[in-house]
Structure 1
């Protein structure tokens, strides 16, 4: 079902590039987002995109030191590019459910929030509780 050919730098036919900025809901279209903001994800990483695409059976290759040209922040968390193979050498699709680059990006944006790494980051304490406690302390000081 998945493509068996290995990625080689000399032969990039059939591969697409996905930068995390393409799926980031914090970016505007002019800053590089390529999908609707309603379907975009908050700060995805190249590793998360790679995990999602490889889990569905696509042939992927992660380039950790590549950066999107419009990204001004050079921190490590903003680096990375994922090469995804859509077509085999004969021109046929690797997976029929992904006929285009946009279909892969929409799928990745849908699945990245479901990863364990994303659910653990957002699954911490309730921020409203912490704010409520702080405001109670502030009100107590004013009364005294």
Structure 2
């Protein structure tokens, strides 16, 4: 085995010193990573999925589209290393721990038309993160009655 200085290796390969130590372990970490990836796409138009709410569950699970918010996530080697297996609707739901309703609002044609701006998709993913930070309605009611 021949040893090379890191600078020389960087000229031949894309070296990420954080990998694999920075694998997103929690749902929040994964969603943060996805939002960052979408933000890097700027104002790129990304494809939506057509009528996800009307598809039978088995067909909906395998739905996908090239150049979609789902494919942006799957193109990332860090998310793939963390366990993202493909860019299908069902796999994205599983990996990010999303409900059908949450993912539908994020990528369905009925909300955005044929395309969604990548920055709008990033904002929608960040809204999911913010929703996780808010206490549930039951917790808020409990706190109201404790006062």
Pick the TM interval, shorter chain: under 0.3
More helix by share: 2
TM-score (normalised: structure 2):
0.26
Higher RCO (C-alpha 8 Å, min separation 6): 2
More strand by share: 1
Rg comparison, structure with higher value: 1
TM-score (normalised: structure 1):
0.26
